[in-house]
Structure 1
Amino acid sequence: MPDDLACHAARPADRPAERPGQTLARGVCRHLLGHDFVTVEELIPAPGLRVDVMALGPKGEIWVIECKSSRADYMSDTKWQGYLGFCDRFFWAVDEAFPTDLLPQDTGLIIADAYDAEILRLGPETKLPGARRKSMVQKFARHAAVRWHAARDPAFTGVWPG
C-alpha cells in the first residue's frame, strides 16, 4: 500500500526516515483529501523545478504547496516564484513553530504536522491557461501512475520508456 494511503503502517527497515518537509507534506496531503483534492509529492513541472506537493481539485483546479521545515529552509528557497505559472493557487505549508511573518502575505498558508493540516489563508487565484492546465493534469496523472507502479512492483527502477 502506498505511503499516502497507509495511515499507521510501520516503516520498513530498508526505507529511510522521513525528512521534516516530508512529514509536513503527509499532513497536507491528508488534509486536502478531506477537501476532495488528490495529491502527488515531488512533481517536476518543468526542468529545474520540483514542487513538494501538487494537488488536483474536484473541478480541475491545481494547487502547489511548498513545505518549509525551518527559517533556513525558507530563506534558501530561490525557486518558489517559478512555481506560480504552474498552479491556480500557491501555498506554503509550515509547522506551528515557524515564523509565518517571513512568508509573503499574497500567498496561501497552511499549518501542518505529520498527521493533518489547516488552511489558514488562501492565496490569490490565478487561473492557468487551458493548454498549461492540460499539460499539468497529464504530468500529474503520469506521476501518480509511476508512483503507484513503484509501490506495487518492488523490482521497478523508476525508469520507463518515453
Structure 2
Amino acid sequence: MESKAAHLTLVPPPDRRQSETALAVARGTARLLRSLGFACVSELALPSGRRADLVALNERGEIWIVEIKSSVEDFRADQKWQDYRAHCDRLFFAFTQDLPCEIFPDQTGLIVADAYGAHLHCEAPEHRLPAPTRKLMTIRFGLAAAQRINRLIDPEGYGEI
C-alpha cells in the first residue's frame, strides 16, 4: 500500500496573482535579502488591510517592505505603496533592469532584480517603526511563516487561524 506522503508536494502551487516577471523579480530580490541576513515572507497581509509583496525581517528586528513592479504601467496604476511606509523601517521598490529608476520616488530604495539575483541600486531612507507597530509586524511575520511551514508539512490538515 502506497503512503499518502509519497504524493504530497512540498511546493505550493502558484496563486496566479503575479505575472511571470513579478515572480522572477520577487525570487531574485528574496535571494538578495537572504544574503543580507533577512528572512522573507511574500504576500503578507498588513494591519492596514493591504498586502505587501515581500516583507523581510533580520535578527536585529529591522523590517523592510519591498514592492515589486513589473512594468511602468504597473507602477503608475499602483498608488497604495505609500501605505506600506507605516509598517516598515525601510521601503524599497524592486524591478527589472528594463525599467527606468527615475520613475520611482526619491524616498524609497531601489533594487534591480531578475530571477537569479538582485543588487541594491540605492538604499532606502530609514524611518524607525514605533515599538507597538514593530511588535505587531513581527508577530504577523512569524505567524505567516509558521502557517506556510505547517501547510507544507501537512497540506490536508492546514486551516486558517
TM tier relative to shorter chain:
0.7 to 0.9
2:14 & 2:64 partners in 1: Cα distance? 28
Consecutive unaligned residues of structure 1, counting only runs of 5 or more, are: 4-11
Which has the higher Rg, Structure 1 or Structure 2?
A: 2
Task: Give the helix-richer structure, 1 or 2.
Answer: 2
User: Are the aligned partners of 1:2 and 1:148 in contact in 2 as well (CA < 8 Å)?
Assistant: no
2:157 & 2:127 partners in 1: Cα distance? 37
**Cα distance, 1:15–1:82 mapped onto 2, change above 3 Å:** closer
Instruction: Count matched residues.
Output: 151
Instruction: Kindly report which structure 2 residues correspond to 1:145-160, keeping only aligned pairs within 5 A, or say none.
Output: 145-156=146-157, 159-160=159-160
**Cα distance, 1:132–1:24 mapped onto 2, change above 3 Å:** same
1:27 & 1:97 partners in 2: Cα distance? 15
**One-letter amino acid matched to 2:121:** L
Counterpart in 1 of 2:91? 90
User: What is the CA-CA distance between 1:73 and the residue it aligns to?
Assistant: 0.6
User: What is the CA-CA distance between 1:44 and the residue it aligns to?
Assistant: 0.8
1:2 & 1:100 partners in 2: Cα distance? 37
SS in 1 for 2:105: coil
User: Are the aligned partners of 1:86 and 1:136 in contact in 2 as well (CA < 8 Å)?
Assistant: yes
**One-letter amino acid matched to 1:118:** H
Counterpart in 2 of 1:34? 35
The CA RMSD measured in Å over matched residues stands at 2.0
Counterpart in 1 of 2:6? none
User: Are the aligned partners of 1:28 and 1:93 in contact in 2 as well (CA < 8 Å)?
Assistant: yes
Instruction: Kindly report which structure 2 residues correspond to 1:77-156, keeping only aligned pairs within 5 A, or say none.
Output: 77-156=78-157
User: Are the aligned partners of 1:65 and 1:93 in contact in 2 as well (CA < 8 Å)?
Assistant: yes
